[in-house]
Structure 1
Amino acid sequence: MGKGVAKYGFKSGVLPTARSILKSPTTRQTTLVEKAKQPLPKGEDGIGYAEGIMHPIKSRRDPKPVKFIDVEQVISRSVPEPQSIKGSANSAIQATKAKHAELRRKYLAEALRNEENYLLKREQLLNKRAEIAAKEREEEMKKIDLKKSSDLTIPSLEHIINQPLVRQRTKEETKLMKLKRNYNREMIAFKAKERKLEKLLELYYEADQYIVTEEQLLKNIDAIFDETRFAANANTFLELKNNAKKNSLEQKIGDELFGTVKTIHPGLPLVKDFLSGEAVHFNAEIKTENDRVLQEKKNNIDNILP
């Protein structure tokens, strides 16, 4: 790249502007056709020359009328169908040439028709944008006129009292508000069911630690009152308490990241993935990728060894 390429988007070259295939407007562009049929303005702000005033040499007194073309006629004149196929000793070459000619006719016809459709769509979009701009301008002028009229008069107390305290919603606003409320209500109910399901899953895992027999009760009592758990240092209990808080925090962070319960049990996200089949599909993809990597390594080793 050389100097001054920043204005070209740091590109070493600039492509030329794309030119239209159709050099003149088509007969299906109704807006341009109606505009061409309208009489041209005269006078100081118009076009043309006044009576008695000569126009310059090699120029026209009136502008050249716009020429509209018919795409189908252009296609029929540009790429006419062959009237006859000349015979030849080598029929394969003639068939190939005929096939190529048919493709050229087909592509040129498609290009001309697509260009006309593009121009028609562009014309519709421009008309629609003009209508929207006119409506917005009209609404803006109404607001300006309303402000001006209100500045010239002072509303009476009776007029103020008769006005509604709150502006009533339109039908579209009411419908939108109803949809938002239904969505919020359904989302709150869904989140509540999801929390209940998480608690039920945690309760299911906690059931493994429940004391349901006398032997389990005695074993847990002995473990709690075991004197060998604590050393002579008085700070041992505080250290164990702080370590318990730290472990609990790390465990919660791990559960949020990996979708587990107490880092060893599958949580609700993993259960959802398994029920939907996404986990099985993911495992299959991982297995396929591992097999591919192993096969590549094996092939590399076979290529290296004599």
Structure 2
Amino acid sequence: MGKGIANHGFKSGILPVTRNILKNPTIKQTTLVQRAKEPLPKGENGIGYAEGIQHPLKSLRVPKPSKFIDIESVIAKSIPEPQSLNLKNGSAIQEIKNKKAQLRRKYLADSLRKEEDYLLQKEILMKRRAEILAKEREVEMQKINLEKSSDLTIPTLEHIINQPLMRARTPEETELMKLKRNYNRKLIEFKAKERNLEKLLELYFEADQYIVTEEQLLKNIDSIFDETRFSTNANSFLEMKNNTKKNNLEQKIGDELFGTVKTVHPGLPMVKDFLSGESIKFNQEIKSESEKILEERKNSIDNILP
């Protein structure tokens, strides 16, 4: 890219100007045909030259009338069908040439017809745009010219009370508000179900620690009142207590990061990944990548060894 590219939108080159396929309007463009048939305005704000005044050289005193073309006649004149096909005893090369010529004629005719359809569609859209702009302008002028009592007199207390406190919502705003409320309600319900599911998972994993037999009860009592646990002094007991708080905090942070329950049990995020197949897909990708690495190492070792 050279210097001065900022003048061209930071582009290294300039694309050529798009040229129209049709040089003149078609007879189906009714708006242009009607405009061409209308008499040209004259006078001070019109066109043309007054009598007795010579027009400039290489110019016309009266402009040329607009020329309108018929697409079908243009196609018939520019790409006429061949009168006879010279096959030269069925030569394959000549047959291919004839097919290519037929395709060129077909593509050119299609492009001319599509260009006419595009111009007609554009004319329809321009009409609709003009109608919409005219309606908007009319509504705007009605709002501007609307008589206001406050412009002439001070509004009375009764008039102020009778006025609505808030502007009424449009149908579009009402529909949008309804969709927002529905979305918020569904989101709150979904979050509540997620929390209930997380609590259900925690309860399920806590069930492993429940005491349901006499043997489990005696075992837990022995572990709680184990003499070796309180053989140290009070300082070591406080240190153990603080370490327990620290361990609980580290465990909660780990559960939030990895989506687990008490570090060793799968949590709700892991369950979601398993049900959606993301975890299986991830494991397969890891397995394939590890196999590739092992294969590359094996190949490198085979290349090094004689």
Q: Using structure 1 for the length normalisation, give the TM-score.
A: 0.79
Query: What pairs with 1:63-102 in structure 2 (closer than 5 Å)?
Result: 63-89=63-89, 91-102=91-102
Query: What pairs with 1:20-35 in structure 2 (closer than 5 Å)?
Result: 20-35=20-35
**C-alpha distance in 1, partners of 2:25/2:295?**
62
Report the 3-state secondary structure (helix = DSSP H, G, I; strand = E; otherwise coil) of the residue aligned with 1:154. coil
Give the match for residue 105 of structure 1: 105
**Deviation of the 1:201 alpha carbon:** 1.9
**C-alpha distance in 1, partners of 2:57/2:213?**
118
**C-alpha distance in 1, partners of 2:298/2:18?**
53
- Per mean C-alpha deviation after superposition, the further-off stretch among 119-128 and 178-187 is 119-128
Report the 3-state secondary structure (helix = DSSP H, G, I; strand = E; otherwise coil) of the residue aligned with 2:272. helix
**C-alpha distance in 2, partners of 1:299/1:121?**
65
Report the 3-state secondary structure (helix = DSSP H, G, I; strand = E; otherwise coil) of the residue aligned with 2:65. coil
1:93-125 residue CA offsets vs partner (Å, 9 max, x unmatched)? 011112222232233334334434444444445
Q: Percent identity?
A: 74
Give the match for residue 204 of structure 2: 204
**Deviation of the 1:219 alpha carbon:** 2.7
Q: CA distance change for structure 1 residues 57 and 266 in 2, over 3 Å: closer, same or farther? A: same
- Per mean C-alpha deviation after superposition, the further-off stretch among 21-30 and 126-135 is 126-135
Give the match for residue 5 of structure 1: 5
Ranges in structure 1 where 5+ consecutive residues have no aligned partner: none
1:275 aligns with 2:275: yes
Give the match for residue 166 of structure 1: 166
Give the match for residue 151 of structure 1: 151
1:10-38 residue CA offsets vs partner (Å, 9 max, x unmatched)? 33322222222222233444443443343
Aligned pair count reads: 306
- Per mean C-alpha deviation after superposition, the further-off stretch among 158-167 and 194-203 is 158-167
Give the match for residue 180 of structure 1: 180
**C-alpha distance in 2, partners of 1:185/1:149?**
44
What residue identity is the alignment partner of 1:35? R
Query: What pairs with 1:119-268 in structure 2 (closer than 5 Å)?
Result: 119-146=119-146, 150-229=150-229, 232=232, 236-268=236-268
CA RMSD of aligned residues (A): 3.6
Q: CA distance change for structure 1 residues 157 and 113 in 2, over 3 Å: closer, same or farther? A: same
**C-alpha distance in 1, partners of 2:46/2:171?**
48
Give the match for residue 42 of structure 2: 42
Q: CA distance change for structure 1 residues 23 and 209 in 2, over 3 Å: closer, same or farther? A: farther
What residue identity is the alignment partner of 1:177? M
**C-alpha distance in 2, partners of 1:244/1:122?**
76
**C-alpha distance in 2, partners of 1:250/1:107?**
73
Q: Does the 8 A contact of 2:87 with 2:95 survive in 1?
A: no
1:28-65 residue CA offsets vs partner (Å, 9 max, x unmatched)? 44443443343332221121223444433432223223
Q: CA distance change for structure 1 residues 171 and 112 in 2, over 3 Å: closer, same or farther? A: same
Report the 3-state secondary structure (helix = DSSP H, G, I; strand = E; otherwise coil) of the residue aligned with 2:178. helix
**Deviation of the 1:238 alpha carbon:** 5.0
Give the match for residue 14 of structure 2: 14
**C-alpha distance in 2, partners of 1:129/1:238?**
81
Ranges in structure 2 where 5+ consecutive residues have no aligned partner: none
- Per mean C-alpha deviation after superposition, the further-off stretch among 225-234 and 259-268 is 225-234
**C-alpha distance in 2, partners of 1:74/1:149?**
65
Q: Does the 8 A contact of 2:149 with 2:155 survive in 1?
A: no
**Deviation of the 1:277 alpha carbon:** 4.2
**C-alpha distance in 2, partners of 1:293/1:13?**
46
**Deviation of the 1:200 alpha carbon:** 1.3
1:60 aligns with 2:40: no
**C-alpha distance in 1, partners of 2:38/2:304?**
83
Q: CA distance change for structure 1 residues 60 and 142 in 2, over 3 Å: closer, same or farther? A: same
**C-alpha distance in 1, partners of 2:96/2:300?**
47
1:115 aligns with 2:115: yes
What residue identity is the alignment partner of 2:77? R
